[in-house]
Amino acid sequence: MKSKSTAAPKESELRLAVPEKSQNRLKRLPLLVGSGVGRARSMHLRSTYYDTPDGALAAAGMNLRIRQIGQRFVQTLKIGSGWQAGVAERIEIEGWVREEHPVLDLIHHAGTREFLTRNGLWDRLETRFVTDFRRVSREVRFKGDFGEALVSADLDLGEVRSGNRSVPISELELELKEGEPAVLFELASAIHRTVPVRIEYRGKALRAEQLTSPPEPKPVRGIRPALTRGTRINEAAVSILKACQVQVAANEAAILESMDPEGPHQMRVALRRMRAALGMFRAFGEPVLTERVRAEAKWLATALGEAREWDVYIDDLHLPVERALGAEIPALKELRGLAEARQEIGYRDARAAVASARFTALQFDLGLLIESLSSGVGNRGLDHLARSEEFAASRLEKRFRKVRKMGRKAFNGPTEALHELRLEMKKMRYASEFFASLFDAKKAKVFSKAAARLQNLLGYANDYAVSAHQLAALLEANHGTQAQSLAKAAGVVIGWHGAEMVQANREIQDAWNRFLDAGRFWPKAAV
């Protein structure tokens, strides 16, 4: 390393959390040991991280550290929000320093330097935390189905310390040295099949910050991808799938560490959006991988379904009735208790799914698909290089025509037809949200508002239909002395919402007409 600072274009790494019991197995894993280039290197690394008392660097997506390597010190400034599709992508500015004290002169980039000196920021830097770990590092040459790469595999074992608090470090960092980024996910999947790991989205700096201010796990809503006109089809697919992947990952903690009903709901929304996107873009990705991701996303959504369905029953259907009639019908409280017991089972199953090795395997496959679409590896033909506006218009037109046709039949057919219309409306709405930024914003907003109202009303009708099956299951499992009073309470819930459905059906018809009146926000295209 030169004495002056150097700026790397980008650092691409995949960070994996390793269970303590698996550390020795990973050290001896033939996949890493047998594919190694040269001997493994072991070193003790102690790093001091700096920030202002109010965390100005962290808020700006930066972290500044000085790492001691033997008797020498290297300063590193990392810039970037962290990860995309599980891969950390950051700018690094680093150089040797004489002592454990930050040196501004190593940072030459004008914009970065201006930020660091604004309002005396640099002068307010102080030690925030220390990482202390042993790194066993080896370079691995790995060849997968999507290419070949040279990867630095670094096993870090130690701890992060902040004041009198600490948290263990047990992770494997796979850093791309040369080759295709997609291969990082192929290598991670191969490791995972022998030594189960999980993607660690939090860097050491963030984990240290969370030592002093532990975050409350909160559900996260999805972000609409901001596509621009002229975007290539594969670029649009990557942006959309990354948004879905981020939403899945962001709701992991809310499911594992809380009973917030929005956790399973938001992850299921992300999975449905993902499956809708994969259906539209299936012609551009590697077929076997694409179908595997779709199937596994369906598995996970199903695993989360029981928790979500009981959340909806309790919060949206049961509690309004109990609040109004609970004093007159005490059995409503007992009925809710039975529903909450089923809800607990649903959350247990949801947590087991999200904590499973299968969940991590899905994340690796999704990351692999995103990276392969981004680079063009595995794409069939050159159609993926076409502009996305024409593609979007054709897909939106296809969805719109199908919804319109189904709607005409649904309002004169059986209840199941409305359920099918609801499912198709979801796909229509997801597609419109994916591509809205490519067309007239005002028209897209009108369409989105009309579609959302119709979907919400159809959702209520479906929740009512599902509740009849849920209550039947509860009553079937309870034949004791309270069976009669519980049956009466269940009948009250069904009757209450049956009366509400009379008005809801009128509103559904009105919402359908308004949806048709909203019309297309995309140019009518041949399908």
DSSP string, 97-151: ESSSS--GGG---HHHHHHHHGGGTGGG-EEEEEEEEEEEEEEEEEEETTEEEEE
Half-sphere exposure (Cβ direction) of 251: Cα atoms closer than 13 Å:
28
CB-count exposure of residue 74 (10 Å: 0-12, 13-18, 19+)? middle
| Whether residue 169 sits in one domain with residue 68 | yes
Same domain assignment for residues 101 and 247: no
φ, ψ of residue 68 to 5 degrees: the values are -90, 125
Please enumerate in sequence order all residues whose Cβ is within 8 A of that of 139, keeping only pairs 6 or more positions apart, or say none. 36, 37, 38, 150, 151, 152, 153, 177
Residue 130: HSE in the Cβ half-sphere, 13 Å Cα cutoff: 10
CATH at residue 428 = 1.40.20.10
Q: Which residues pair with 160 in a beta bridge?
A: 131, 167
Whether 417 is in a domain gets the answer: yes
Q: Is the same domain home to 180 and 238?
A: no
> Do the Cβ atoms of 86 and 185 come closer than 8 Å?
yes
Q: What pLDDT was estimated at residue 168?
A: 95
Q: Quick one: pLDDT at residue 153?
A: 96
Specify the pLDDT at position 8: 43
Task: Output the pLDDT for position 239.
Answer: 95
Structural domain that includes position 322: 233-518
475 and 514 part of one domain:
yes
- Write down the pLDDT at residue 3: 42
96 and 208 inside one domain: yes
In 3D space, the residue among 386, 384, 392 whose CA is nearest the CA of residue 522 turns out to be: 392
Residue 226 lies in a domain: no
Q: Are residues 185 and 314 in the same domain?
A: no
Sign of CA dihedral 238, 240, 246, 249: negative
Same domain, 288 and 334: yes
Of 108, 140, 96, 104, residue with least CA distance to 123 = 104
Residue 7 confidence (pLDDT): 45
Q: What is the pTM of this model?
A: 0.89
Mean pLDDT split into 10-residue runs, the chain, 527 residues: 46 92 94 84 95 92 92 92 56 91 92 92 95 95 94 96 92 95 96 97 85 87 92 93 96 95 97 96 93 98 98 98 96 96 97 98 97 76 73 96 93 82 95 96 96 96 96 86 92 97 95 96 80
Residue 143 lies in a domain: yes
pLDDT at 380: 55
Do 179 and 240 share a domain, yes or no?
A: no
